[in-house]
Chain A
């Protein structure tokens, strides 16, 4: 181990050198170069982040380094590990590199483990294959590894199957498996994207610790600039198969020289950008980007010059960074407008403070329990307490963000409000009508006033319907148009409203990108002129730049039409940017609620505090991160007393006895925690 640390200081010879790496797949008669001439250099013991939006080729670069590509792919260039060219190795020799010198962990811990082999067996494979460890010795080592990655009770877990572990635990097992071969380089492909914020914080900290202890190099692939800021020593940004900017982290965060990088940062929703539109990058990544003669970003770039479309820029060294842009090239810099002042935070426009007199939606004591039936007569033997007593109110034209981690019941709250799932108890009053007792035709007619936008832009539209049919669905169901002509006119109008050309109405969903699909879904919801829209994680499947477009659109629609939003999300930056109020949910109950700015700036409930501090941020400066241990408990058997008590750093004896009552904190804030009682 000490040898590894020593060599880490030896920055003379890089551990991994990638030169002109090109990965191509056969596509439509020719080839598509998904990775196109990538150069990288990783030193021992450093964390190198490869950042980019989906489809930029960052994961493919990683797979190419390990030569784990699907059949038919063509690989070119050089990948040198300690000087030896991996691309020239015979397959058998390459197998001795995989898992031994370079290990990899993947984005989806749920599917990346073999479901029918025990955790121990899967780790043992690596020990057997690369270190020749078997039997008792191997088992001892596996237990060590499991303990090292922070799995409690390794003696029990070693013989369990992946499905018996939570997502975070699975990712830890993946990491243990990767560590088993004692690799010099660990490639982590979006290791925390599928995990919740608090779990993400755990896993990132674990990776950081292991990397330091073992002096291992880490190639971290991510789309999250916050993760980069927190983890990386050096960063490379990829766009359309190429590296467009490479820098040390400090320089990267400070200078952002490439227009694409600059825009990416400006597109981040943050509390300080409240009330202003986010910067967006128009359009989307061109589909056959490898055939573009000039700069691949030119057509979306705000400072592009004719030159950019004619010639392809090289990766140029600029003050310790490397940037692929003519604007930084002294020969051409004069042709470009002087770079806009660094994205300095402008004064936040305070959100309108006035509370509407009467709330549009009032939810009180909402409970949704799903019975678990078992046994001979299908008796109810238990319940999933998905939502267990939620109160909230939203006024017209306001946004309430409902925040929580997966499984806390926030989506169920949304569906129960819309009566798509009938609540077990409680009341949902909308504009002075009790929705829970409405039935049949009355409910059907009422539905037009409350609408829904979903997370997954791919499952939210019927693939067999044209855009016109999709958008017009509500018009037909609610009999809001008389004939075909009127319908088409109305659909055209709606499409314009969400920023799409009306001509798209004769196309099918699969022809659109994620952001465009989300626009169509918003148009579908708007068609029936709703007053409240439940947005269920509408941007979490989208790239940052596209997310900004959708957030801008939602804000604009709210201003124009006075819509109220129930914004369900796990992303606190979005909350800070967009929401007027926020309610934080934990295991079926709201634990803290109040004005968004106040809650995020000064969270009171220990869970909210942990949540807020766990979000990786771009700003520099150390923050103390409150790390939560363990996983959220199951809603089938919530812990007695305060549900959060088992993970709470401040828990006392009484926390396990009763659920804390509501404590008002003034200014419309309240919290359910004994810390603030009395």
Chain B
């Protein structure tokens, strides 16, 4: 188990290095720092001095990979790759192109993101499982048939529609909650409730349908027949036997996204004006602040890898057949 964890962590390094190489190539090789400076300073009437100054302020005036002028290790460390990409390994995110401390911003903005993402995740999971279980329990009945149709319809609707319709109905028509904004502390609930509900509803279609397939697959297995042959009532068969087995893929599939909940939801936060990491990223994209985008890419990859490790660990918890070695 311990050896397994160590190996997974070691394996994460080449992957994160790969991620860094990709972002580095995208941000510094496809377009040179000069291009970006001109972009930021406005395309026309840019003086070479302004470009040089812009680069110097952000440390983009160094060579890309190898600094022939520096001495010793600095040949490698005094480069854009080292300063801007490798330093991310130490979770040193540096400053944004606009000069803000990215690490500080992240630590501030992750809380509103989590305030939406965690309820959506938990309540959504529960809702989906409930719906799926109901459909599987009454399989091949009208409830099941129409449930599946409803799921397909729900998943065919654009997530943007849920948000816009939700804002219109709850905010504008019924004046139940404010349309957008945020508040600190407990007072934030009235800003959060609508996005959370919308987040749950927009996930039901695909989630419930997928889980229903998992349930039905389990129900076709031999051990279910054994359980019935024991004379167990259908509810016991369903809740003790089928549910426990189907929960293995459901839970382990859900675990991988848990760390990513930190990242927040891009569109939801931006629509509802919630100052989380999602809207942070969107603002950065719109302001073309590449330092922030780079930091978020790295953070996302780290969280994804953490999610993979957690998935493996969760298998050992819920499935007695799996042991990590």
Chain A interface (Cβ < 8 Å from any Cβ of B): 66, 68, 71, 92, 95-100, 103-104, 106, 108, 111-117, 125-126, 129-130, 161, 163, 174, 177, 181, 374-376
Contacts and interface: CB of A to CB of B under 8 A. Distances in A.
Contacts of A161: 320-321
A104 B230 CA distance: 8
B187 interface: no
B309 to A, nearest CB: 15
B322 to A, nearest CB: 10
Contact of B245 (A98, A108, A115): A115
B130 interface: no
A63 to B, nearest CB: 8
Contact of B230 (A99, A108, A376): A99
A554 B64 CA distance: 71
- Among A68, A106, A112, A163, max chain B CB count under 10 A is at A112
Contacts of B248: 116
B90 interface: no
17 contacts: A66-B229, A71-B139, A97-B231, A98-B228, A103-B230, A104-B229, A106-B225, A112-B222, A115-B320, A115-B321, A116-B244, A116-B248, A125-B230, A129-B231, A129-B232, A161-B321, A181-B231
B325 interface: yes
Given A116-B319, A376-B3, A111 B222 contact: yes
A99 B231 contact: yes
Nearest to A121: B240
A114 B227 contact: yes
| Shortest beta-carbon contacts, A-B, top 3 | A99-B231, A98-B231, A99-B230
Given A163-B321, A375-B3, A113 B140 contact: no
Contacts of B232: 95, 99, 125, 129
Contacts of A129: 230-232
Nearest to A103: B229
**How big is chain B's contact interface, by range?**
20 to 34
A68 B3 contact: no
Interface string B284-325: 000000000000000000000000000000000011110001
A587 B215 CA distance: 40
B325 A374 contact: yes
Contacts of A376: 3, 6-7, 10
- Among A71, A130, A376, max chain B CB count under 10 A is at A376
B6 A68 contact: no
Nearest to B247: A116
A162 to B, nearest CB: 9
Nearest to B10: A376
B229 A114 contact: no
Nearest to A101: B231
A106 B224 CA distance: 12
A117 B223 CA distance: 11
Contacts of A163: 320-321
Interface string B213-225: 0000000011101
Contact of A117 (B229, B231, B244, B318): B244
B233 interface: yes
Interface of B: 3, 6-7, 10, 139-140, 221-223, 225-233, 236, 240-241, 244-245, 248, 318-321, 325
A108 B140 contact: no
B324 to A, nearest CB: 11
Contacts of A104: 229
- Among B231, B241, B320, max chain A CB count under 10 A is at B231
Nearest to B6: A376
A106 B229 CA distance: 10
A573 B248 CA distance: 44
Contacts of A111: 221-223
Contact of B223 (A103, A113, A374, A375): A113
A95 B319 contact: no
B222 A108 contact: yes
Contact of A114 (B3, B7, B140, B241): B241
Contacts of B221: 111
A68 B233 contact: no
Contacts of A71: 139-140
- Among B227, B229, B236, max chain A CB count under 10 A is at B229
A99 B229 contact: yes
A185 to B, nearest CB: 12
Nearest to B226: A112
A119 to B, nearest CB: 11
Given A112-B222, A113-B223, A95 B320 contact: no
A343 B83 CA distance: 91
A96 B321 CA distance: 32
Contacts of A115: 223, 245, 319-321
Contacts of B140: 71
B224 to A, nearest CB: 8
Nearest to A113: B223
Contacts of B318: 116
Contacts of A116: 244-245, 248, 318-320
Contacts of B10: 376
Contacts of A126: 230-231
A68 B228 contact: yes
Contact of A68 (B229, B244, B245, B321): B229
A174 B223 CA distance: 11
A71 B220 CA distance: 11
B226 A106 contact: yes
Contact of B233 (A95, A108, A130, A174): A95
A71 B216 CA distance: 13
Nearest to B223: A114
Given A99-B229, A113-B223, A376-B10, 20 more contacts: A68-B229, A95-B231, A99-B230, A99-B231, A99-B232, A103-B230, A104-B229, A106-B222, A111-B223, A112-B225, A114-B227, A115-B223, A115-B320, A116-B245, A116-B248, A117-B244, A161-B321, A374-B3, A374-B325, A375-B3
